[in-house]
Amino acid sequence: MIIMAATLLILFGAIDVLQADLLPDKKFLLLPPVNFTIKITGLAQVLLLWEPNPHQEQRNVNLGYAVRINAPQEDDYETKDTKSQCVTILHKGFSASVQTIFWNKHSLPASSWVSAELKEPPGSPGTSIVNLTCTTNTAANNYTHLSPYQVSLHCTWFVGQDAPEDTQYFLYYRYGSWTEECQEYSKDILKRNIACWFPRTFINFYGRDRLAVHVNGSSKHAAIKPFDQLFDLHAIDQINPPMNVTAETEGNCLSIQWKKPVSTFPTHCFHYEVKIYNIRKDYIQTERIMTNAFILIIDVTSKYSVQVRAEVNFACREKGHWSEWSQPIYVGNDEQKLSTEWLIVLIMAAMCFILLILTLICRICHLWTKLFPPVPEPKSNIKDLFVSTNYEKAGSGETEIEVLSYVEDSGFEVLEDSVF
């Protein structure tokens, strides 16, 4: 009995302690953090900093912070740290709040919020650039002591409609901790920068960072509002087409081979699409392939054009864009040309044949007029008629022989003509 009672007591005691931990008394209030500041640490990048409230009671409780980004885009998260880095566009200003919370005990009341903000940079919205587009591309690197590939960046934009004529724009990109200013601009007729080319950058396709691009400007007449944009690399990367595409036919087998595009991604990261165009039948066949070779049964009487394009597959990165098609290569007989040649020969032969027939008909007509001369005068007597008929009969044999020999002669002539 005593043991049981003791156990019960211990149990209740334990529950009491537990509840005390779960429900701190009403006097135990959480105080908001202090000295909350927002610092710009890079292009489109800020650092939020705060300190724990020095008057906060420390009762061996587990405290953390809830961070709320209010602008430019709402976001909520929690941290045990007293700083937090944020990558976001800054040309519309930035504002955030932070509060102290019980870590993992969200049912309990948190502290009040403390807030801070970055003001929107000066300048009317119409002065900033519009429609910024950027693409990256990979090229083989000429400098052998560096990495074998280099990633270029190309961006274009339009001048803001309210930007004064003397406006000049400047583009910067940041990738991770690297920031660079553009050195090669293209200009419009008013010599305002409207495009930028970086032949080599610090962009790394294996990194998880987004590419930050910042375009600000200056003018004597107005403040030019800067513009920020963040790009996902997979969405802007222009893959090169496959290299060294070859196609060979052996009998009715068409075998196509190629090499992976110039890219930092290894061979297993690519899949391909092969386009086989039957020129004679005007028929396109496309095939998706994981490997670097493809064999197809073809119609030997047709000529084909073969093109291949590449895409980085899902195993290596999020879905991006297909490369351009490789230059077409042509295989197979140009049967069409051959058949047109034959067609010409046939037409010529047919024409000669018709000519021959026509000549024949003419000859026969001639004979006909000979055989049946114009209707004799009604005055001619029967004797006359008899004699003339006889004469024609006698002559007709000769004429027939003549005609026959002519047929043979003209036949040879025609044939000789058509041969040469």
Ligand X SMILES: *[C@@H]1O[C@H](CO)[C@@H](O)[C@H](O)[C@H]1NC(C)=O
Nearer to ligand X, 54 or 378 (CB): 54
Closest approach, Cβ 343 to ligand X, in A, equals: 39
178 binds ligand X (CB under 6 A): no
C-alpha–C-alpha distance, residues 194 and 279, integer Å: 42
Report the amino acid identity of residue 278: N
Closest approach, Cβ 40 to ligand X, in A, equals: 8
Contact 222, 126 (CB under 8 A): no
Nearer to ligand X, 17 or 223 (CB): 223
Show contacts with ligand X in window 230-249 (CB under 6 A).
243-244
Strands (E), 91-231: 94-102, 114-118, 130-140, 149-158, 168-175, 178-181, 184-187, 193-198, 211-218, 227-231
Nearer to ligand X, 42 or 72 (CB): 42
Among 28, 113, 170, 322, binds ligand X (CB under 6 A): 170
Among 147, 218, 286, 388, binds ligand X (CB under 6 A): 218
Show contacts with ligand X in window 124-153 (CB under 6 A).
130-131, 139, 142
Closest approach, Cβ 346 to ligand X, in A, equals: 43
Task: Mark the segment that binds ligand X (CB under 6 A) among 211-219, 293-301, 318-326, 330-338.
Answer: 211-219
Any residues with CB less than 8 A from the CB of 418 and at least 6 apart, and which?
348, 349, 352
Closest approach, Cβ 34 to ligand X, in A, equals: 5
Contact track, ligand X, 39-58, x by CB under 6 A: ------------x--x----
CA angle, 308 as apex, 304 and 313 as ends, to 5°? 150
Task: Mark the segment that binds ligand X (CB under 6 A) among 214-222, 319-327, 336-344, 345-353.
Answer: 214-222
- Among residues 205, 273, 200, 264, the alpha carbon closest in space to that of 242 is found at 273
Nearer to ligand X, 302 or 326 (CB): 326
195 binds ligand X (CB under 6 A): no
Contacts for 23-26 with beta carbons within 8 Å, 24 or more apart?
Answer: 23/108, 24/59, 24/61, 24/108
CA distances from 206 to 43, 234, 256, 263 (A): 21, 10, 31, 12
Look up residue 98 and give its two tokens.
Answer: 């932070």
Q: Write out the residues near ligand X by the rule CB under 6 A.
A: 34-35, 51, 54, 130-131, 139, 142, 158, 170, 172, 214, 216, 218, 243-244, 259
